[in-house]
Chains A and B, each alone.
Chain A
Amino acid sequence: MKLRDLSDLAFRNLREAVLRNSLTTLGVAVGVASLVAMLSLGVGLQQLATSRLAKSGLFDSIFVTPKTNLRGPGGGPPATRAPASKARPLDAAARAEISRMPNVIEVYPQIRFFTEVRYDSKPFATMVAGMPESSKASGAFDGMQGSFFSSPNADEAILQAEFAKELNPQTASLIGKDLILRYAERQALPSQAQAGDPAEYPGGFSVVPKEKHLRIIGVVETEPASGFGGFGSGRLLIPLPLAETLRAAQVNDLRDILRDTSSDKPTYSSLTVRVKSPSLVEATEAKLKDLGFSAFSLLDASKSLRIFFLVFDLLLTIFSSLALAVATLGIINTLVMAVLERRREIGVLKALGAADSDVKQLFFVEAGVIGLFGGILGVFLGWLIGRTLNFGTVLYLHRQNLPGVDITSVPLWLVAFGILFAVLVSLAAGLYPASRAARLDPVQALRYE
């Protein structure tokens, strides 16, 4: 029999026992709904995590440092040192070279320095961190009080909430106020290399106290300057270009002296290199190593995250499949009942020339139709459950004064998977009833009253 005729007959048969078949279809729908809802939660959480991490720039960033070449205390005086291979300095020239590399979109140094801030004539010790312009899109400043820096060189500061509370518990009142940043500016001394052996008389620098007036323009709850590449949480955030012009003495400056790099050329303790996409990280990391630097990325952490969510999704699928397994028993029951009730009809069909395979296909199509409708309804219900979860989450987060997020997501592949899975499971459930119907002896079936 042709598929269209099989479908016609199957629909007709299903309509005959509309209540029973509707309930069976509903059973499948509930099973699929639980599956789709669970998976949508898994997908949603994964998307949320990856998008947050992607926005944070952690997974498209490479942390570059000079190769460690620190001479130990037993190195002896300069005159007796063995000619060691000098590590390539991470200086302005290196930064420019890295910036020119393909797929690199941003190269910026880590600028953090511990210093004193005067606010309302009172001193406060804090860590200052320079924030690149791109950090605005990282999500860390979402929901902040006030606004982001008006320009890359603006004399403006954003305070981390905990630090802001130290200045004034009413953090909102800080916005628009001024504070004074007191810091030590590094000023290079003339190199003594001109006077003698550069190895024996390396250059140095002096530190000069300076002040900078900054306007507070925002207060942020999160810690945008912490995490990957950070040496400690920045609590007073200023634009990175501004931080660079301050030439404030940093922790690594002392190390530079030991490494003979404390000349008039400033070096960076580290550079953060951002590439166009996380997939380009590995190749770029290798190229940076070829240039003579140490490079590190969180790509492995990203892989672990993917593995975690795969296992998480698998577990959700297994648990939510239990409901579908129960629905499968419902399909088997419905179709076995249908075979019993329609024994005579099966006998008539066979007497009129239906092959065993025609009868089998008829019951298969009926099972498939139950699965198809159950799948479509189930996906819709699963989506509805997901939306309800999202709604509830957003409501809860808003009550906590946090921005709302979608924790569930039903992508197209999940819709297709839900429906296909329902059809396949239903077809599997139809195997036994269909083969039982096909095996019926037509003579016995025709005698059945």
Chain B
Amino acid sequence: MTELPPAIHLESVSRHYLMGESVIRAVNDVSLTVPSGGFLALLGSSGSGKSTLLNLIAGLDRPSSGSVVAHGQDLSKMSSLELARYRRQTVGMVFQSFNLLPRMTLEENVELPLRLAEVDRSERATRVREALSRVGLEKRIGHRPSELSGGEQQRTAIARALVNRPKILLADEPTGNLDSATGESILTLLREIQKNPGMTIVMVTHERALAERFADCLAVMGDGKLLSNGAAR
């Protein structure tokens, strides 16, 4: 049986910022591989560079040096238009603060990536319902985010991240604003989603216990460097 190519491969990736005259090394020479279908938890204390690394994988930021390759595409060589297409087609993102647009209903929030991808209107409704039923919120389709609990909002955010059928799901502290029980249910949901063939998940978290329970691999960062990388269990 042939081994699948890695979903994500980072080679000596650095991201430096200039702050006045000093250089902030947010990510410093990180090399990392995430296999296709894997669930990687990026652990580290605040300011360790894990969110910056996630943004680099998401194509929201560009490395100062090194290369980020996702499903064979070298992000560091892409134009901003190509990166936008990559974010639309290859990755889905979930944030700590959900980032749902408050004036839109769940349906409209989840539909947003489909609008950006110029999916036909006739197909959109079906895909939105599919995505919302996958996270158990099909009955709340007409509600606004403010009418939902934190867990439900995060589920909606997950539905929005999945509606364009991405290959990689990136979650930045998805349980950070939730109580432990709700956080656990969200991670259970992510784990179920990962069962889809080929779905790779990279999750940034500082909750090691949860990460060990749900992720396949753990990568620990500190001061912008990768301190350790290995199987979770």
The reply to whether the CB of A345 lies closer than 8 angstroms to some CB of chain B is: yes
- Give chain A residues whose Cβ lies under 8 Å from the Cβ of B81: 355-357
Contacting residues of chain A (319-368) with chain B, CB-CB under 8 angstroms: 344-345, 347-358
| A16 with B115: CB separation less than 8 A | no
Task: Name the one of A344, A345, A352, A442 contacting B113, with C-beta atoms under 8 angstroms.
Answer: A352
| B118 with A353: CB separation less than 8 A | no
Contacting residues of chain A (351-392) with chain B, CB-CB under 8 angstroms: 351-358
| B103 with A443: CB separation less than 8 A | no
The reply to whether the CB of A300 lies closer than 8 angstroms to some CB of chain B is: no
Contacting residues of chain A (407-447) with chain B, CB-CB under 8 angstroms: 442-443, 446
Task: Name the one of B60, B80, B115, B117 contacting A351, with C-beta atoms under 8 angstroms.
Answer: B60
Q: Kindly supply a per-residue 1/0 record for chain B positions 83-99, scoring 1 wherever the CB is within 8 Å of any chain A CB and 0 otherwise.
A: 01101110001010001
Given the contacts A352-B112, A353-B88, A353-B89, A1 and B99 also touching, CB distance less than 8 Å: no
- Give chain A residues whose Cβ lies under 8 Å from the Cβ of B101: 345, 348
| B95 with A446: CB separation less than 8 A | yes
- Give chain A residues whose Cβ lies under 8 Å from the Cβ of B61: 443
How far, in whole Å, are A344 and B103 apart by their CA atoms in the complex?
14
Q: Kindly supply a per-residue 1/0 record for chain A positions 59-82, scoring 1 wherever the CB is within 8 Å of any chain B CB and 0 otherwise.
A: 000000000000000000000000
How far, in whole Å, are A9 and B89 apart by their CA atoms in the complex?
21
Nearest residue (CB) in A for B170 is A351
Nearest residue (CB) in B for A9 is B115
- Give chain B residues whose Cβ lies under 8 Å from the Cβ of A2: 115, 118
| B99 with A348: CB separation less than 8 A | yes
The reply to whether the CB of A12 lies closer than 8 angstroms to some CB of chain B is: yes
Task: Name the one of B60, B103, B117 contacting A350, with C-beta atoms under 8 angstroms.
Answer: B60
Label chain B's interface by main secondary structure: helix
Task: Name the one of A5, A344, A351 contacting B93, with C-beta atoms under 8 angstroms.
Answer: A351
Least Cβ–Cβ distance between B214 and chain A, in angstroms:
23
- How many Cβ-Cβ contacts under 8 Å join chain A to chain B? 62
| B103 with A353: CB separation less than 8 A | no
The reply to whether the CB of B160 lies closer than 8 angstroms to some CB of chain A is: yes
How far, in whole Å, are A351 and B61 apart by their CA atoms in the complex?
10
- Give chain B residues whose Cβ lies under 8 Å from the Cβ of A443: 55, 60-61
| A353 with B116: CB separation less than 8 A | yes
Given the contacts A16-B103, A345-B101, A351 and B87 also touching, CB distance less than 8 Å: yes
The reply to whether the CB of B75 lies closer than 8 angstroms to some CB of chain A is: no
How far, in whole Å, are A352 and B160 apart by their CA atoms in the complex?
9
- Give chain B residues whose Cβ lies under 8 Å from the Cβ of A353: 84-85, 87-89, 113, 116-117, 164
Least Cβ–Cβ distance between B111 and chain A, in angstroms:
9
- Give chain A residues whose Cβ lies under 8 Å from the Cβ of B115: 1-2, 5, 9
How far, in whole Å, are A345 and B84 apart by their CA atoms in the complex?
16
Least Cβ–Cβ distance between A10 and chain B, in angstroms:
12
The reply to whether the CB of B58 lies closer than 8 angstroms to some CB of chain A is: yes
How far, in whole Å, are A355 and B117 apart by their CA atoms in the complex?
10
How far, in whole Å, are A338 and B23 apart by their CA atoms in the complex?
33
| A352 with B87: CB separation less than 8 A | yes
- Give chain B residues whose Cβ lies under 8 Å from the Cβ of A358: 84, 116
Least Cβ–Cβ distance between B108 and chain A, in angstroms:
8
- Give chain A residues whose Cβ lies under 8 Å from the Cβ of B116: 1, 349, 352-354, 358
How far, in whole Å, are A344 and B102 apart by their CA atoms in the complex?
12
How far, in whole Å, are A351 and B116 apart by their CA atoms in the complex?
11
How far, in whole Å, are A443 and B104 apart by their CA atoms in the complex?
22
| B112 with A12: CB separation less than 8 A | no
Least Cβ–Cβ distance between B125 and chain A, in angstroms:
14
Least Cβ–Cβ distance between B11 and chain A, in angstroms:
21
Most buried by A among B85, B88, B116: B116
How far, in whole Å, are A348 and B88 apart by their CA atoms in the complex?
12
- Give chain A residues whose Cβ lies under 8 Å from the Cβ of B93: 351-352
Contacting residues of chain A (1-36) with chain B, CB-CB under 8 angstroms: 1-2, 5, 9, 12, 16
| B99 with A344: CB separation less than 8 A | yes
Binding site for A on B (CB under 8 A): 55, 58, 60-61, 80-81, 84-85, 87-89, 93, 95, 99, 101, 103-104, 112-113, 115-118, 160, 164
Give 5 closest A-B pairs by Cβ, nearest first. A353-B88, A355-B84, A353-B87, A5-B115, A352-B113
A-B contact pairs, 30 of them (CB 8 A): A5-B115, A5-B118, A9-B115, A12-B103, A12-B104, A16-B103, A347-B99, A348-B99, A348-B101, A349-B112, A350-B60, A350-B84, A351-B58, A351-B87, A351-B93, A351-B95, A352-B87, A352-B116, A352-B160, A353-B88, A353-B113, A354-B84, A354-B116, A355-B81, A355-B84, A356-B81, A356-B84, A358-B84, A446-B60, A446-B95
